[in-house]
Structure 1
């Protein structure tokens, strides 16, 4: 790959994370948290905190780090341990960071694919690993949906405050997740050649045609790795699914732990509401879901908090742990790729200069 190609690749990947998205995401988060706190705040609320419960917030931080660990373990396992633990942690943190500052409709998968190529894995294989990771998440959704439907016979899983429109939206979300999971399963596990055909068709368009040769080769790699995955034993899939499931269970547990760190609550219903809420997060189009996830937290979990004045405090603590800490760690991980890129560019420039001097 030439220095120009490398620069173009970095530019294209870097454009997925912009200062604009980051600023919008943080601004929406601050504004929405401010609104929730303003609506629910009662003077003297901090006097009602139970000191013996507050250590639970440190447990929440530990669970957040566990979520990163399971995400990194899943990536390393799917990559057949071709990259080390530090590389996997960098990719996982970069993926979380990208998800936090890009529109939910884009997600962090494209940036995660780029990060894996920077760790030395071919683009085709990186794409397949990321897609397979997403597929495992879809399997988790497919498992979560019937759990919520069955639990709905015994618990008020969906808050009555969302009304008919909210219930219809959740049904559409469940249906969409199952359909998308079916599409990925077919493309990766049943007929991998169909994925190659889709990629080749996309890059026949005039404005993408110049990349067609390279992407056709990468589509071959994607197809090849997909066939490799099909040959893996059941144990491989079960272990990978375990990592994916544990990561999502950590995500679901975090708001529950935060709330129980402030005051008692109905544990089972909190878990079910948190699961339903996390599925609803997937359709919020704003960067990182900011502005929407805070509102959904108040709608889904707020009614289960005995003291209304604690709702804003719970939202604040939850977002600090799951969002702002994630952004901080993600910036550190992403900075590594940026610095590595700059060092490579300087090395390439120096090599070109030496070649010119030799001529």
Structure 2
């Protein structure tokens, strides 16, 4: 999608009802299947009431993840975006990521939202790129942790077999390669990003957007240079906010599991980290269907009572996914209503 298209599109153009229905249907169907195969009558009698407050902690941690992500957006915009706007952008980004294939993601919606909050398109695009870079740096940091921990713990469940282990290795290599290229483009040679963008928009079906894209690519390069010239403390603080967001995301699965039954805490956290990396390549909208399966594969063997696996998946997805969809839908609706008002005013 061109930057010109992002600038002029309506926010609802980034959302597909088909993908929304597919995402929720796959999630519900997978959870129902897991519950069907693992549930045994009377399982709820084994719940330890003293552990259930952990679910409240899980909800708080889920909101903290959103807060850290919003804080990162506000920080990268050098506080030109207010707190409420940062939360709206982040929730709309989460929502569109949850209901679109992983190859599309929520970046177009986040870029659009930033322009509606007053940022220039080039600056918004650069912030998205910088935010993605911070995530990639986090992945590049997490991978050695998993590799070292693998010498002491079964981080990758033996149930996934040789093909699964090979897939995880390829995923690690891919993430490290992408992080290196993105770091070079954003931190070392911002002009390279501009050149790549201009080359892409020389393609026949994109050529009509070339002039507009050239202007925005110039803005992107200027802002990328500004970010590049920031002191190391700027990068470190932004990386801290990005890291805390991911720590909250990773801790969530372990907190839910421990809210039901005792489990090996360190191994659960390590497996949560590994499965969150695996989520990145699940091709379905929002990863629905695949992420539930990966949760069962990575966390299921750590849950002492098999009949609790379905309950754990259900609670985890409610807290990490369905709450996000509800809040994100509200934020996205705000942008849709604003777009409608602006269009009606322009027609008058």
What TM-score results when the alignment is normalised by the length of structure 1? 0.94
Q: What CA distance in whole angstroms lies between the structure 2 residues aligned with 1:20 and 1:119? A: 28
Structure 2 vs 1, CA of residues 246 and 149 (structure 1 numbering), >3 Å: closer, same or farther? same
TM superposition shift of 1:259: 0.5
Q: How is 1:41-120 mapped onto 2 (pairs within 5 angstroms)?
A: 41-120=39-118
Q: How is 1:1-359 mapped onto 2 (pairs within 5 angstroms)?
A: 9-11=7-9, 13-350=11-348
Moved more, 44-53 or 66-75: 44-53
Q: What CA distance in whole angstroms lies between the structure 1 residues aligned with 2:99 and 2:152? A: 37
TM superposition shift of 1:16: 2.5
Contact preservation (8 Å) 2:34, 2:309: yes
SS at match of 1:208: helix
TM superposition shift of 1:12: 6.2
TM superposition shift of 1:15: 2.7
TM superposition shift of 1:6: 9.6
**Cα deviation code 1:85-136 (max 9, x no counterpart):** 0000000101111111110121111211111111110111100001100000
SS at match of 2:287: coil
* Structure 1 residues not aligned, in runs of 5+: 351-359
Contact preservation (8 Å) 2:10, 2:339: no
Q: What CA distance in whole angstroms lies between the structure 1 residues aligned with 2:90 and 2:318? A: 19
TM superposition shift of 1:13: 4.9
**Matched positions, count:** 346
* Structure 2 residues not aligned, in runs of 5+: none
When Rg is computed on C-alpha atoms for both structures, the one with the higher figure is 1
**Cα deviation code 1:253-294 (max 9, x no counterpart):** 001000101111100000000000000000000000001000
Q: What CA distance in whole angstroms lies between the structure 2 residues aligned with 1:300 and 1:75? A: 31
TM superposition shift of 1:11: 3.4
Q: What CA distance in whole angstroms lies between the structure 2 residues aligned with 1:165 and 1:7? A: 40
